[in-house]
Structure 1
Amino acid sequence: MILKVCTLLLVFSAAALAGESYDGYKIYDINARNDFEKQLLLHLQNNADLDFFDLPRALNKPARVMVPPSMHVELEKILRQFHLQFELVNDDFGATLKRQQLENQSQRLIVPRDQSRGVSFTAFLRHAEINAYLDELARTYPSRVTVQVAGKSYEGRDLKTITITNGDGNANKNVIFLDAGIHAREWIAPAGALYVIQQLVENFVSNAALLKNYDWVILPVVNPDGYEYTHTNTRMWRKTRKPVTSSCYGTDGNRNFDYHWGEVGASTLSCADTYRGQSAFSEPETQIVRDLLLSLTGRGKFYLTLHSYGNYLLYPWGWTSELPSSWTDLDEVAKAGAAAIKSATGTAYTVGSSTNVLYAAAGGSDDYAFAVAKFPISITMELPAGGSGFDPTTAQIKPFVEETWLGIKAMAEKVIQKY
């Protein structure tokens, strides 16, 4: 019966999500109350027109899906047929995105400095603005900040890293490596990375202990081509932008790392959002992250990658439900971050291995950092949902990044204590 339902849904065009407009798109929350209903949702996820923003493993958490106008009636018919509980979250996502775009643009034109030199947390910045802020910090704090071009994206954009020290000249310290923005539409993740940078550099006195025995290396936007594309074309674009076929572009960077690549939770279909790539490390952007991670082997103690959304602190493995032998160390650090956030703001984060808490997905950067680059602590932080999920309002940016920093700082303190 499930197969019949999914076959029916697959007759619709798979091109809808490639369009630039989301006019008339609806967003639903669907509550799976048993294993059968969860399996139905997993099968529906295979339809290219249904963009599942969130499909958690737990039965007590609803799945969230974006649906094009051509499928509203049919999807609701199927959900009612199988008695699945659902709720309409947004009845015209396109109209919402247009309002948000205008608001973000107006906030960027105001350019509030937020008591910092060149970064604002009242608007989402473009990639060039992010790089300009890094360069400004390097000029202003030359003894403590170094900015380097780690490589170029497929479309030729500079992927810049910022290395933050306490200026004591010791080049052999342990390292915390943080990246963000591997998925293009997750705008709050680069914003979170920028806030970490601001706190470590411009609020150095308060955070000096985090830099006494550790350096921080931060890559705030892993996927600048996709990130820019979400600003100029298709807001919910997820992948990189290197062509795969004449009609399909991009690879899911977080399925492209060469550790159990392509084994589970990654699509072989080039148009799919979770497309694994033509080969492991087929994308210049993931090659850059790989090289950075490997260059830090031995010194690298904590790898943290920022994503959204879902209030999760996840650790290896993503390719299997089994746990690594040192999982208690990973769990201890992640729980320190969750506890700090919970204590300060009341926001609850779910902690656990990626496969057991969320879903199986091989080829992720966190598994690679842990298994191949030998970072003893490797964690994916999924920031809270804003707006309908991936689209926080400008008013939500600052409280989200401030809260995120509390968790990151607590995890860093735990790592520094342990290693």
Structure 2
Amino acid sequence: MKFSLGLLVLLACGATFVVADQDYEGYRIYEVTPSNAEQASILHQLSAEGFDFIGQSRLLGQPSRVIVSPGQLDKFLQLVKDHKMIHSLFNSNLGASIAEEFVQLQMQRLMNPITGKGRLSNERYYSHEEIINYIDDLAQRYPKRVYVKTVGWSYEKRVLKTITITNGDGKFGKKLIFMDGGFHAREWISPAAVLYVIDQLVENFQENAYLLEDYDWVILPLVNADGYEHTQTGTLARMWRKTRQPYNYLGQTCYGADPNRNFDFHWNEEGASSNPCSDTYAGPNAFSEPEAVVVRDLMHSLSDRGIMYLTIHSYGNYLLYPWGWTSDLPDNWQDLDAVASTGAEAIKNATGTVYTYGSSTNVLYIAAGASDDYGYYAGFNVSITMELPGAGSIGFNPPVTRIEEFVTETWIGIRAMAEKLFELY
């Protein structure tokens, strides 16, 4: 289906949906594959200069994807030509892709409304309110096994809640897994995957009861509620990554910080920015973002029992562990590697999808102040970032017709990592 680049109006089932003018008109996505260390370094520098990399790897021969605005196009094409970089056009019209995605989102919400009761389908992406209503309903339907707690509020005063899932045996002090999703606003598949994990542990309890025998699971399904909701307000906001707290910079207002650069462990070192308008802005100080504070406080409150911290992102087919601020490895890196490799192997055996695993800096890129480093620092034996595969014309999110495929594949890896964790601890 093709859409014009002006105002898009969709009439469906008697309802009118309006998608605003495509502010990404003329934007493109290029795929660039570095073949030597110099080229990899150049790509990293482009990221620091404001090019939006939506999929980036420091491994030679592995492609990176970058959004190129009309104003950046000449510089980008000249650079890849001068340095003989392998590149190809992945998406020639990002604006049209975003418009089409919004039509699909609105259509699916119309055709698949939820009442706040019962299981969620995997046929669409859900709003923050719908996610909160769902976990609240689970707590009401399974009061002996499920507990929901308000753990804080976003900058714009959206409630942040955790769901604690047990087997209902009443035993206190069990070891636990702490999991979260939705750190970066535009990564819609992340909360969707986390919701599927919740579904499997609660609604599909009989099959997965062994995962709750000696461990409890504490899950924060959506960290960056403000940013996530902002990305669903219209096409201009679709690629938003950060939180929504405003900051003044050279007389202009720039919104948000990257919550995954806002943690007070090697804060604002390499891989983060001091520019409030940058997508990787670390904030004016560590823990300036209330959403990061919520995750920090949860980590410290759970670390005496916490064995694994798992955070779900998109995209890139990675299972990453500390450190992200240095190429050095933690003392128990073999355990981290064993858990990550087990997840990667399980997914490959089940679906053929290949995940790369290793420490964040050595496999992907240096990124100081991230939550996985802080989780390990706070006392979790194993701390892993899972970057789900990309799909569709934008990359971040599978089309709604493929959500089921992606979330079930993700669950296979998470379940296998949990099983390995039980062996080690």
Which TM-score tier does this pair reach, normalised by the shorter chain? over 0.9
Superposed CA offset, 1:300-357 (max 9, x none): 0111000010000000100110101100010011111111101100111101000000
Superposition pairs of residues 92-171 of structure 1, within 5 angstroms: 92-111=93-112, 117-171=118-172
C-alpha distance in 1 between matches for 2:292 and 2:204: 31
C-alpha distance in 2 between matches for 1:41 and 1:81: 13
Query: Mind listing any 5+ residue stretches in structure 2 that lack a counterpart?
Result: 1-20
Tell me the residue number matched to 1:241: 244
8 Å CA contact 1:118–1:136 kept in 2: the answer is no
Superposition pairs of residues 376-415 of structure 1, within 5 angstroms: 376-387=381-392, 388-415=394-421
Which amino acid is the alignment partner of residue 41 of structure 2? Q
Tell me the residue number matched to 1:26: 28
Superposed CA offset, 1:189-226 (max 9, x none): 10010000000000000000001111110000000000
Tell me the residue number matched to 1:6: none
Tell me the residue number matched to 2:424: 418
- For these two proteins, the number of residue pairs brought into alignment is 397
C-alpha distance in 2 between matches for 1:235 and 1:418: 41
Secondary structure of the equivalent of 1:166? coil
Which amino acid is the alignment partner of residue 257 of structure 1? F
Secondary structure of the equivalent of 1:276? coil
Runs of 4+ in 1 over 4 A off after TM superposition: none
Superposition pairs of residues 136-285 of structure 1, within 5 angstroms: 136-233=137-234, 234-245=237-248, 246-285=252-291
The counterpart of 1:327, out of the listed 329, 333, 342, is: 333
Which amino acid is the alignment partner of residue 206 of structure 1? E
C-alpha distance in 1 between matches for 2:135 and 2:223: 15
8 Å CA contact 1:29–1:88 kept in 2: the answer is yes
8 Å CA contact 1:179–1:305 kept in 2: the answer is yes
C-alpha distance in 2 between matches for 1:20 and 1:155: 26
Secondary structure of the equivalent of 2:222? coil
C-alpha distance in 2 between matches for 1:211 and 1:378: 19
8 Å CA contact 1:112–1:122 kept in 2: the answer is no
C-alpha distance in 1 between matches for 2:267 and 2:49: 22
8 Å CA contact 2:327–2:362 kept in 1: the answer is yes
C-alpha distance in 1 between matches for 2:351 and 2:357: 17
C-alpha distance in 2 between matches for 1:260 and 1:223: 21
Secondary structure of the equivalent of 2:284? coil
Shift of 1:112: 7.2
Which amino acid is the alignment partner of residue 199 of structure 1? Q
Which amino acid is the alignment partner of residue 57 of structure 1? R
C-alpha distance in 2 between matches for 1:319 and 1:41: 18
Tell me the residue number matched to 2:344: 338
C-alpha distance in 1 between matches for 2:422 and 2:285: 36
Shift of 1:261: 1.0
Which amino acid is the alignment partner of residue 34 of structure 1? N
Matched, 1:313 2:319: yes
Shift of 1:130: 0.6
The counterpart of 1:293, out of the listed 259, 275, 299, is: 299
Query: Mind listing any 5+ residue stretches in structure 1 that lack a counterpart?
Result: 1-18
Shift of 1:397: 1.0
Shift of 1:100: 1.1
Tell me the residue number matched to 2:371: 365
Which amino acid is the alignment partner of residue 156 of structure 1? K
8 Å CA contact 1:181–1:307 kept in 2: the answer is yes
Q: Output the TM-score relative to the length of structure 1.
A: 0.92
Tell me the residue number matched to 1:9: none
C-alpha distance in 2 between matches for 1:267 and 1:73: 25
Which amino acid is the alignment partner of residue 182 of structure 2? G
Shift of 1:386: 1.4
C-alpha distance in 1 between matches for 2:42 and 2:388: 27
C-alpha distance in 1 between matches for 2:59 and 2:263: 26
What is the aligned-residue RMSD (CA, Å)? 1.5
Shift of 1:22: 1.3
Greater displacement, 356-365 / 80-89 = 80-89
8 Å CA contact 2:257–2:283 kept in 1: the answer is yes
How high is the sequence identity, in percent, across the aligned residues?
55
Shift of 1:53: 1.1
8 Å CA contact 2:22–2:96 kept in 1: the answer is no
Shift of 1:389: 1.6
